[in-house]
Chain A
């Protein structure tokens, strides 16, 4: 097609080159073109936070970015945080504190919290509530997520 965009970008440290239709949302590009289905798509209008990824290190809604806009940028998805055998302390904390039930919202919480915890190593509960206010969770009632963030802060401080 004439209207295709030659996209090159880095996702979780790996370089990719793909031809995309400009209207391809970054969230769909990650899931359908790269097969990185850890990024979830909830509301598709920037409200639920499930599709949050890191763009050059900063959390953004991948459903509100067209794939060509990520050209020559670095993306980190939840797959870039850790593996099942070697989880990130934040992921460990989520497991230990029962911060998820269905897990649909979890990738968005993790990618939101990763850079935030680096900037806020000793967060108060109020700060945590504010930090996660852009991510919806319909299972936990948030309490266990807040516990997990506190636990993650301890784990990350301990190295």
Chain B
């Protein structure tokens, strides 16, 4: 199908875009990479009266970093992030997630900010930014605010953003020393929506006890699903296979809430989540033991 008619604006600066969003509010949709929005417009599931295309705002497509954070502009395309050495160095979990996000053709066009604003619970970036405790810099004509990932994703395809808001940057803090990470998922093809997946981040203290653990699941509920109780089992303990198994059981049985569909039953997704959690924690643990080096 073809999209319904709309008025098209292609602002050249952020203030210009914010002014358009202020003027048109609920009638407007921001067009970033368009890899989720345009299919929905083609199906006429979404029929915005106004499209504000932010592809011509170069300042939104920058990748910057210092020892405080990696800062990804909202218009950084997946393909650019995938090839960027700074991303690989300072946020390896983000780097690792890239090849699993859709196909090459989609990654050439799709953007980090677009994927996060779309807030699909099966999106790798939604889960990865939650596990990394990223912050979302949001602007509107009245000013700017910074929202942590834990408050940014509020439900199925829903974020804390209002119609006048524009996501401009995602700040990803570095992991503490002696941290390890892992991203595991099961998909029928590498780029397909995963049946279920998990991002794990583990930080060890000087005696190799778990100082901090984070487990966040994709395709396991209405948003990025964290498993704080499973993580609490690890807290302060030496990581052993038994402990990992207990945490995986806790998360897969009590904390995630996957649905059933044509691709998999909820029960099968829980089973996969259990197995993937073990693998993810093992890998994250090995990486944490290896210090900053990757294993």
Contacts and interface: CB of A to CB of B under 8 A. Distances in A.
A133 to B, nearest CB: 5
Contacts, number: 88
Contacts of A71: 10
A112 B10 contact: no
Contacts of B34: 64-66, 69
Contact of B104 (A46, A68, A112): A112
Interface stretch (A22-30, A75-83, A92-100, A145-153): A22-30
A46 B39 contact: yes
Interface string B1-44: 11111111010000000000000000000010011001100110
Given A23-B2, A65-B109, A134-B106, A46 B8 contact: no
A25 B2 contact: yes
B53 interface: yes
Contacts of A107: none
B105 A49 contact: yes
Secondary structure at chain A's binding surface: helix, strand, loop or mixed?
mixed
Contact of B108 (A45, A60, A131): A60
Contact of B103 (A5, A49, A58, A66): A49
Contacts of A130: 190
Interface size class for chain A?
Answer: 20 to 34
A21 B5 contact: yes
A33 to B, nearest CB: 14
30 contacts: A3-B7, A3-B8, A5-B8, A22-B7, A23-B2, A23-B4, A25-B3, A44-B1, A45-B43, A49-B103, A52-B105, A55-B109, A59-B104, A60-B108, A60-B109, A61-B35, A61-B106, A64-B35, A64-B38, A65-B34, A65-B38, A65-B109, A66-B31, A68-B10, A69-B53, A69-B55, A112-B104, A112-B105, A133-B189, A134-B102
